[in-house]
Amino acid sequence: MRRISVMKRMWTVACLLTALAFGSTARASGVKETLDLIPSDAWGFVMIRSLDQLDSTASRIQQSLGLPIPPQISAMALAPLNLVDAVDMTRPICVVVLDVQKMGGMNEAAVAIVPAKDPKAVLEKLSAEPSEEEGVSRVTVMGEPGFAAIKGKVVVIGPGQDAVTKVAKSKKTIGSSVSAGRSEAMGASDVYMSISLGAVATAYKDRVMPFMQMAMAAQDPTGETAQHIIKMFGEVAAFDLGLTFNDEGLAVVARITPTADGDLEKMIAADKGTEDELLAVLPKDKYLFSLASTINHSNAGKTASSDKPISGLLKSMRIPGATPEQLASMDKEYLKLHENLKRVALSFSALEDTAEGMIGLAIVAETNDSAAFVASLRKLFTTAMGLSDDEDFTAVKKHIVHKADAESVGGGKADTIEIRVDEIADATEGDKGDVEKVKKVLGSDMRIRFGAVGDNHVVMSLGGGKKRFEKIATGAKSSGGLSTDAGIAAVSKGLPAKKVAEMYFAVDHIMQTVKKVAAAVGEEDEVPFDMPTLNAPVAVTSAVEDTASRIDFVVPMKLIKACKEMFEKYSAAEAADMADDGDESDSDDGDSADESSDGEESGSDDGDSDEDSSDDGE
């Protein structure tokens, strides 16, 4: 029990250091020196950039977000270790995990690399005594036995002697193999975590593979896909996460560094990215969510993806009546469609004209041949409608009607897929009230429209009617579009200019639209939150840096503060409601007590009356 308690305390201290190091703004020195201490075959590490100015940073976080962070947090965190005056606050602190299997467990494989002002003084504070291994001392950390060794200006500390010895005496480290981009990311991150995913995947492959094959048996009966996934994991030299929290907000950077000359490296290298504005083809409106991406057509990319993308999915859904020929036809047509695709952009938006629906979908695809792309879409739809002989599916599909070249739009033609929700409700004995709610949200004109716009673009829309389709089609041929949105432009400044894909979530628009939709369908009481327009979306982008795939995730400070204020208002309102309910309950209890008291007095009087009557009778 004592050991569990100590481990909990150590975990608390580690979490505290990690969480509050997010706020450090000083660029710590010593990243390269720290990397030169980590053995090349380590399974992973967590590096805290610096504890310098930790107290002032904690104070700044407390002031900006009002979080209950106590003063002198660094001293409080280091006090249990008796190292308050011994740690060098200007250099990185690192926890390294070696090969868990070789070391005999996670606890034995973990060591801490602690920068020290005076390494010998640190050993003295830890009650160091000689051990069997030269240069390694026995120490006591928070009452628990451990080992420590001095290496340059740091002290290597851990519960296992073998792990401490390996780190202290290793000459082959990761320092020389870390790329410039990766090293820069470490220096820019408050906390940086790295896992040698390939080494871990290889070590546990025989345990994981049977479970993966079992889970994927429906869509992958041969087990080839599961084997390919494990192979790809084995080619990840390092999976990294860097976290930074400052006045701009929260930034997370993920990096996937592949091993040299593998399929994964070739696939990542084929993602060239572009500095073009990928969202420029979408209409500039009150978007809720937007996504744009280039398409990878490399041979390595084809190797990594399934050659049965549709049939694998449908097999897992176990749709009755689907023949192998139909599934093969859908796979072939989908792959043809994908090969024709160069870029794609889509957005969900809140529509201003609620008569045509409250939410609209827009998709713009840049293709090599727009006419062929439309032909593939038509064939996919036709095949999909004939897949199943299930009675319920057959009853529904009669009321989903496709018409080729049904409408003339902006000098071109558009196909329509009409979803007759009233008839579907009748056929399935659906709730008419629910149908009306769907119409309010998506509009009474329940048609998916798609068509070629020029030789190289295909547009698809749902919601907003024919008028919105025309707007999207016009915008697909122009420039600027959604990429000029103020919020997107602001958050993009700190992101890589050359992107493979980008994604934005307008949380303010989403909250406003959810509330508006709830009011329209008569459920406004279910959404108590209010959020003003912020122009501060959550951003997610992907890019290629060095030979690595990089993913950035950004949450602006303006949004963080707004969410906090919104939650505080909600909590205050809930507390007030509970207090009112408590007052009413107390009042009801008081009334009940009064009534009970009155009843007792009345009963007493009646008793006296009975006694009087009895006496009279006598």
Residue 183 domain flag: yes
Instruction: Answer whether residue 336 is part of any domain.
Output: yes
Q: Indicate if 174 and 32 belong to the same structural domain.
A: yes
Residue finishing a domain among 136, 169, 195: 195
Q: What is the pLDDT of residue 616?
A: 46
Cβ(92)–Cβ(34) under 8 Å? yes
What does the angle CA 357 – CA 361 – CA 364 come to, to the nearest 5 degrees? 145
Q: Contact at 8 Å (CB) between 96 and 111?
A: yes
- The angle that helices 432-442 and 507-520 make with each other, rounded to 10 degrees, is 140
Show the DSSP H helices in 341-420 as ranges.
370-385, 391-397
Same domain, yes or no, for 289 and 187? Answer: no
Counting as low any pLDDT under 50, the low residues of the chain are: 1-28, 602, 604, 607-618
CA 452-458-459 angle, 5° bins: 105
Closest CA to 541 of 589, 494, 584: 494
Counting the structural domains of the chain, the total is: 2
pLDDT at 36: 96
CA atoms within 13 A on the CB side of 167: 39
Query: Do 183 and 94 reside in the same domain of the chain?
Result: yes
Residues 187 and 275 in one domain: no
Last residue of a domain, one of 450, 484, 518: 484
Residue 594 lies in a domain: no
Q: How far apart are CA 618 and CA 610, in angstroms?
A: 12
Residue 4 is predicted with a pLDDT of 42
For residues 558 and 555, give the distance between their C-alpha atoms in angstroms, rounded to a whole number: 9
- Residue owning tokens 């934005």: 504
Q: Letter for the amino acid at 214?
A: M
* Neighbour-count burial of 577, counting CB atoms closer than 10 A to its CB (0-12 exposed, 13-18 middle, 19+ buried): exposed
CB 83 within 8 Å of CB 135: no
User: 436, 459, 484: which is the final residue of a domain?
Assistant: 484
Q: State the Cα–Cα distance between residues 374 and 367, nearest whole angstrom.
A: 10
Q: Are residues 282 and 173 in the same domain?
A: no
What is the helix (H) or strand (E) element at residue 617, kind and residue range? helix 557-617
Same domain, 290 and 398: yes
Report yes or no on 245 lying in a domain: no
Q: Which domain range does residue 446 map to? A: 271-484
Q: Is residue 567 part of a domain?
A: no
In this structure, what DSSP letter does residue 288 have?
E
Q: Which two tokens stand for residue 152?
A: 């340059």
- Per DSSP bridges, beta strands 236-246 and 249-258 are antiparallel
Tokens (6 digits) for 354: 């609620």
Q: What is the pLDDT of residue 610?
A: 47
**444 and 354 co-located in one domain:** yes
Report yes or no on 130 lying in a domain: yes
Q: What percent of the chain has pLDDT over 70?
A: 85
Same structural domain, 296 and 148 = no
- Residue 186 sits in the same domain as residue 335: no
If asked whether residues 159 and 275 sit together in one domain, one would say no
